[in-house]
Amino acid sequence: MIVRPARPADAEAIAGIYNQGIEERIATFETEPRSTEDMQAYITEREGRYPITVAEQDGEVVAWAAASAYRPRACYDRVCEFSVYADRAVRGTGAAQAALQGLIDACEAAGFWKLVSRIFPENVRSRGLCRKVGFREVGVYYRHGKLDGQWRDTVIVERLLGDAAT
């Protein structure tokens, strides 16, 4: 498995993997599929500021992880939200873990001090993955949003990086 920064040429694979997560309704509140062009713009707008990593297996992108802004206020400038997705054909093989660890390393190297995210409580694979790479669950947002007309809770996870972790 090779982990590397995402490139605009990875957009088609990233969109395909993300669209699986959207279809399955267990990983995101998003409901509209993303196009290759959507994901090219997503990659390009984060370039130089927020890392995106991919895990490749046999030359194919099979998982990706991305950081994004947490809040617009300057005091949160070194805190990032993150997402991680794996193609359903490779789930459980370590691909998502590789992509997420690559993202953690890239964010730490870029000087970020915390990664946070929200996970649906029933997404036990994502919760387990986060625990495995050093995230802790810090609480629950009850009725955080609606998906397909139903209220959904989210579990909040965080991992400290760099000198914040010591």
pLDDT at 115: 98
Q: How many domains does the chain have?
A: 1
Helix (H) or strand (E) segment spanning residue 159: strand 150-160
What percent of the chain is predicted at pLDDT more than 70?
100
pLDDT in tens, 17-59: 999 999 999 999 999 999 999 999 999 999 899 999 999 999 9
pLDDT at 104: 98
Query: Which residue range(s) make up the domain with 91?
Result: 2-165
What's the whole-model pTM score?
0.96
**Tokens (6 digits) for 87:** 């193609």
Distance CA 151, CA 148 (A): 9
pLDDT in tens, 63-87: 999 999 999 999 999 999 999 999 9
Distance CA 39, CA 48 (A): 16
pLDDT at 92: 93
pLDDT in tens, 144-159: 999 999 999 999 999 9
Mean per-residue pLDDT, 126-142: 98
Q: What's the CA angle centered on 52, arms 67 and 11, to 5 degrees?
A: 125
Q: What's the CA angle centered on 155, arms 12 and 116, to 5 degrees?
A: 60
Closest CA to 37 of 17, 11, 7: 11
**Tokens (6 digits) for 35:** 């196009």
Q: For the domain that residue 58 is a member of, what is the CATH number?
A: 3.40.630.30
